[in-house]
């Protein structure tokens, strides 16, 4: 975790070594060789956050992997489009930090088509990353002249390299997303919320207070995180409304949360229609779910999760029994 010191933010050599899969001594030797500024905090070398982009670029160049960075292939129709949103997306896809986490162009086009056909009055996105999926959805709303608003929730933490897939770094994802949306001329359709999804869930009626016609869950991909997002926002989805889950195939995406939620709560559940869709170029998978009626168990779990007393009892015997009742 970054630390603040003397009005600056720093990352430790130990944390950077874990990201780069080398030893802390390797990191320290590199920063000394390249004359990066450092400070010693609690006897550990730290590097200023405002030099990290330069640090990673020089490190990967030093390792000889500058030319091997991964990008999504951009289809000709998107590259040749003169629409501001398409031009913006093309530039976003060319950033090294935008692979492989955001939706691919093929998945984005599918998402845009869904929005055009569903015609939602209100959209909630859990997990924005840098705003690529947000722009795809907003472009769909723009195409059909739908006045709906997209509420997009994310922590907007620094985006770090994720070897061997991602080699880029972004220090301020929220600023990047806001600037990209403005360049795409879609600011009027999107509201960003820098917070965790649990905070949004508990304050939903204060912040949005409208039914959700389209809920896109692409945030915390752990079992607990994905289930919490479903439980918190499911009650706000209108009857006939849609829920979209990304990264549903653990064998391809290395996340098991969305698959767990599908198998445990949504599959073979008469309150939902569900279809799984293969995706390209990486088959991380997408599940489209339609809410047909109220699921009393999920409704009860949502009310329970929002009560202040739940935090006090969730780990005691009564709380554990209630969790078992919800999960079984």
Instruction: Please give the Cα distance from 153 to 39 (Å, whole number).
Output: 34
> Above 60 in pLDDT, residue 67?
no
Name the more confident of 312 and 78: 78
What percentage of the chain reaches a pLDDT higher than 90? 84
Token code pair at residue 303 = 């009310």
Give the mean model confidence (pLDDT) for residues 178-206.
95
Predicted TM-score (pTM) above 0.85: yes
Summarize pLDDT for 120-130 with one digit per residue, the tens: 999 999 999 99
Write the DSSP symbol of residue 50: G
Token code pair at residue 258 = 């969305």
Q: Given this structure, which CATH class describes domain 3-68?
A: mainly alpha
Summarize pLDDT for 2-58 with one digit per residue, the tens: 999 999 999 999 999 999 999 999 999 999 999 999 999 999 999 999 999 999 999
Instruction: Please give the Cα distance from 199 to 157 (Å, whole number).
Output: 16
Give all strands (DSSP E) within the chain, no chain letters. Answer: 3-5, 8-12, 39-41, 44-48, 122-126, 149-154, 190-194, 212-217, 237-246, 272-277, 286-291
pLDDT of residue 202: 83
Token code pair at residue 193 = 């919320």
Query: pLDDT averaged over the chain?
Result: 93
CATH architecture designation of domain 76-305: 3-Layer(aba) Sandwich (3.40)
How far CA 305 is from CA of 7, 203, 228, in Å, comes to 37, 12, 8
Structure confidence at residue 170 as a pLDDT band (50, 70, 90):
very high
How far CA 74 is from CA of 71, 86, 91, 93, 281, in Å, comes to 9, 11, 10, 8, 11
Domain boundaries, the chain: 3-68, 76-305
- With b for 16 or more beta-carbon neighbours within 10 A and e for fewer, the 115-148 pattern comes to bbebebbbbbbbbbbbbbbbbbbbbbbbeeebeb
Instruction: Please give the Cα distance from 60 to 67 (Å, whole number).
Output: 9
């Amino acid at each position: 975790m970054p630390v603040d010191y003397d009005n600056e933010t720093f990352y430790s050599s130990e944390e950077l070594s874990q990201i780069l899969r080398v030893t802390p001594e390797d990191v320290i030797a590199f920063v000394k060789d390249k004359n990066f500024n450092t400070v010693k905090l609690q006897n550990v070398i730290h590097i200023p956050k405002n030099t990290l982009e330069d640090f990673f670029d020089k490190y990967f160049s030093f390792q000889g992997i500058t030319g091997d960075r991964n990008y999504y292939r951009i289809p000709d129709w998107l590259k040749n489009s003169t629409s501001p949103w398409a031009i913006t997306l093309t530039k976003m896809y060319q950033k090294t930090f935008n692979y492989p986490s955001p939706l691919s162009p093929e998945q984005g086009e599918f998402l845009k088509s869904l929005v055009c056909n569903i015609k939602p009055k209100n959209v909630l996105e859990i997990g924005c990353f840098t705003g690529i999926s947000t722009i795809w959805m907003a472009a769909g709303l723009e195409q059909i002249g739908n006045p709906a608003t997209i509420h997009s929730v994310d922590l907007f933490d620094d985006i770090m390299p994720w070897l061997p897939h991602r080699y880029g770094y972004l220090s301020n994802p929220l600023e990047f997303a806001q600037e990209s949306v403005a360049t795409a001329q879609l600011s009027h359709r999107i509201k960003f919320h820098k917070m965790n999804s649990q905070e949004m869930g508990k304050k939903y009626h204060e912040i949005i207070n409208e039914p959700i016609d389209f809920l896109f869950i692409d945030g915390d991909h752990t079992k607990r995180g994905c289930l919490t997002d479903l439980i918190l926002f499911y009650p706000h989805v209108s009857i006939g409304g849609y829920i979209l889950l990304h990264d549903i195939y653990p064998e391809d995406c290395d996340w098991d949360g969305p698959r767990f939620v599908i198998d445990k709560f949504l599959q073979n559940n008469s309150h939902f229609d569900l279809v799984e869709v293969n995706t390209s170029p990486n088959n991380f998978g997408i599940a489209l779910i339609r809410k047909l009626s109220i699921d009393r168990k999920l409704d009860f779990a949502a009310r329970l999760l929002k009560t202040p007393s739940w935090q006090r009892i969730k780990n005691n015997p009564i709380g554990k029994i209630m969790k078992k009742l919800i999960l079984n």
